[in-house]
Amino acid sequence: MKPTTNPFHPDLQRAARLIPNVTMSRPVLSVVRFLARFQRKPRVPVDAAVEVQDVRVPGPTGAPPVRVRTYRPRSVQGPTPALLWIHGGGYIIGQPEQDDVLCIEFARELGILVASVDYRLAPEHPFPAPLEDCYAALRWLFAQAGALGVLPERIAIGGASAGGGLTAALAQLAHDRQEVRPAFQLLVYPMLDDRTTTRTDIDGTSHRAWNQGSNVFGWRSYLGREPGGAQVPVHAVPARREDLSGLPPAWLGVGNCDLFHDEDLAYARRLQAAGVSCDVVVVPGAFHGFDIITRGAGVARDFRAAYSAALRRALFPAPGAAEHAKAG
Q: What contacts 208, CB < 8 A, 6 or more positions away?
A: 15, 16, 19, 21, 257, 287, 288, 289, 290, 293
- Which of 90-99, 142-151, 176-185, 318-327 has the lowest average pLDDT? 318-327
Tell me if residue 118 is catalytic.
no
Cβ 134 vs Cβ 86: under 8 Å: yes
* Angle value at C-alpha 151, between 145 and 153, nearest 5 degrees: 110
Please write the tens of the pLDDT for every residue from 276-293.
999 999 999 999 999 999
What letter represents residue 304's amino acid? Answer: R
Helices (H), the chain: 13-18, 26-37, 100-110, 129-143, 145-148, 162-177, 212-223, 261-273, 290-293, 298-315, 321-327
Confidence at 69, pLDDT banded by 50, 70, 90: very high
CA 15 – CA 256 distance, rounded (Å): 16
Q: Which residues pair with 186 in a beta bridge?
A: 158, 251
Q: How confident is the model at residue 263 (pLDDT cuts 50, 70, 90)?
A: very high
Domain membership of residue 8 (yes or no) is no
Q: Catalytic one among 133, 193, 194, 258?
A: 258
Q: Is residue 68 part of a domain?
A: yes
In angstroms, the CA 53 to CA 106 distance is 15
Across the chain, what does the average pLDDT equal? 93
Q: What type of residue is 34?
A: F
Catalytic choice (11, 99, 116, 161)? 161
Give the CATH number for residue 286: 3.40.50.1820
133-190 tens-digit pLDDT:
999 999 999 999 999 999 999 999 999 999 999 999 999 999 999 999 999 999 999 9
Residue span of the structural domain in which 208 resides: 49-315
137 falls within a domain = yes
Least confident residue range of 64-73, 175-184, 297-306, 312-321: 312-321
pLDDT band for 53, please (50, 70, 90 cuts): very high
Residue 72 in any domain: the answer is yes
Indicate the number of domains in the chain. 1
What DSSP state is assigned to residue 248? Answer: P
Confidence at 326, pLDDT banded by 50, 70, 90 = very low
Nearest Cα residue to 94 out of 55, 57, 148, 133 = 133
Q: Please check whether residue 276 lies inside any domain of the structure.
A: yes
Residue 288 annotated to the active site: yes
Question: Does the annotation count 25 as an active-site position?
Answer: no
What pLDDT is recorded for position 94?
93
Residue 42 within any structural domain of the chain: no
In a domain, 320, yes or no: no
- For residue 60, the 8-state DSSP code is S
80-86 and 113-118 beta bridge pairing:
parallel
* In-domain check, residue 6: no
